[in-house]
Amino acid sequence: MKKRIHREFVLVALTSIFLTAVLVTAVFYGCFRAEIMEELGNSARMLESIGVSAALEKPGGAYDSLKIQGIRITLIGSDGSVLYDNGAEAGDLDNHGDRPEVASARESSSGQAVRRSDTLDKNAFYYAVRLSDGSILRVARESSSMWGIFRDSLPAVLTMAAGVLLLCCGLAARAARTLMRPIWQLAEDLDACDDRLVYQELQPFVRRIRQQHEDLMGTVRLRQEFTANVSHELKTPLTAISGYAELIEHHMAREEDVGRFGGEIHRSAVRLLRMIDDIIRLSELDVMETESPVLERVPLYELAEVSVDMLRINGEKHGVKLFLHGAPCIIRGNKEMVEEVLYNLCDNAIRYNREGGSVFVTAEPKGDRVRLCVEDTGIGIPEEHAERVFERFYRVDKSRSKATGGTGLGLAIVKHIAARHHAELTLESREGEGTRITLWFDRWDEP
């Protein structure tokens, strides 16, 4: 970019020099032409005032002065024939009646014209006046053409251009450094750069880059925390499995304890497999964040009915009853993801309930939306923990989660899927009374 800025500055300088030289030459030539015409006009009027015939018959004085200045004097009759010319024999010259300056002087009091001689690369300036007897007095003078003047001045122009070009190269290099300095500062330290030092046009770009940088750092921190949590959570069941297996391997367990140790190994293995499944599922959802899920016609009430029936046996093991309320309703969503939401919410409601408790699942249409609500009569969530229960591996009661086989990832998966469906997710809970989680989905409009 620095080289491009430097090149653009130099190109602008060269173009400006060339255009300035041409323009100055044109203006100078215009002034020069006006001055010559004025001089020729004064000469013609001077000859007219002293009497042309007398001046031509008795050379001297004004006549000699004009001749010394290189002014050509021609006297033309009313019929266009040349009566006198101080630069050639009158008889050898053609009729001048059709010359523009002569024709113009015949119609009005005076006329002028400029004609170029390609052979001599000069311009001839003519000025003619009509005399009182009808004849035409014409005075003329040769001078360099505009391009001749430009060519003659070209060495000086080139010398000036070289000097200006060198100056512009220095200024361009300085300007490029000045223009690039804020960008270099941004590249070195994006966070420490003061907005006042950044160009106004770059500030939206800088703010956007900073936001993306912060988001990226936030994502990196979350992934680091997630990795640390995964390592910690996997270590617990693996340690239990390893410990019990070692006791059995070295015959350190009594015969009556082998069955109990085997049961502990089995429970830890099941918990480990559940955790691995949830971790894999979360990773899949993270990867698919940039992709929109395939939305289809999903019968929410029917899926809720299937989930309740499937988990009813699990609820009976925990002494919890499940109830389904609502009415048939269709949502716009992904069937597999919605089934996953129902299973995780109902499973959590069973795990964190008390014996003899209940779980109420409601799926019903509400205007142009559909409400899915899972409410339990369990232990509830303290107010200070309510905002964090959707975080990965976050548990309100860690000892209870491990005892029930919870992974701490179920609600994180629910939050991900709700976001993918643009569904509104709310949580209401009272410690010791129960929890209600509600999702609002877009209703499927029949065609």
Among the ranges 165-179, 222-236, 362-376, which has the highest mean pLDDT value?
362-376
- 150-168 confidence digits (pLDDT tens): 566 667 767 777 777 787 7
CATH for 294-442 is: 3.30.565.10
Domain ranges of the chain: 2-149, 209-289, 294-442
Half-sphere exposure of 444 (CA within 13 A, CB side): 17
Token output for 299: 């019968």
- Please state the pTM of the whole predicted model: 0.49
Q: Comparing C-alpha atoms, which of 143, 94, 151 is closest to residue 120?
A: 143
Token output for 413: 């998966």
- Assess if CATH 3.30.450.20 describes domain 2-149: yes
Equal fold, 2-149 vs 294-442: no
pLDDT given at position 119 = 46
Q: What is the DSSP string of 44-108?
A: HHHHHHH-HHHHHHS--THHHHHHHTT-EEEEE-TTS-EEEETTS-GGGSPP-TTSHHHHHHHHS
Is 61 a residue whose pLDDT tops 50?
no
Count Cβ neighbours within 10 Å for each residue of 340-358 and write b for 16 or more, e otherwise. Answer: bbbbbbbbbbbbbbeeebb
Q: Comparing C-alpha atoms, which of 97, 100, 99 is closest to residue 135?
A: 97
Q: How far apart are CA 158 and CA 393, in angstroms?
A: 77
Q: What's the whole-number mean pLDDT along residues 237-260?
A: 82
CA angle 226, 392, 311 (to 5 degrees): 135
Q: How far apart are CA 179 and CA 195, in angstroms?
A: 15
Q: How far apart are CA 222 and CA 228, in angstroms?
A: 10
- 292-306 confidence digits (pLDDT tens): 667 889 999 999 999
Half-sphere exposure of 109 (CA within 13 A, CB side): 5
Greater confidence (303 vs 25) lies with 303
**DSSP symbol at 120:** T
CATH for 209-289 is: 1.10.287.130
Q: What is the DSSP string of 23-47?
A: HHHHHHHHHHHHHHHHHHHHHHHHH
CA angle 291, 296, 297 (to 5 degrees): 155
For residue 221, what is the enclosing H or E element? helix 203-249
Cross-sheet strand order for the sheet of 72-76: 82-85, 72-76, 136-144, 122-130, 110-117
358-366 and 321-326: which strand pairing?
Answer: parallel
**DSSP symbol at 159:** H
Query: For residues 379 and 405, is the Cβ–Cβ distance under 8 A?
Result: no
CB atoms within 10 A of CB 45: 15
Among the ranges 11-20, 41-50, 287-296, 327-336, which has the highest mean pLDDT value?
327-336
- 361-393 confidence digits (pLDDT tens): 999 999 889 999 999 999 888 888 888 888 876
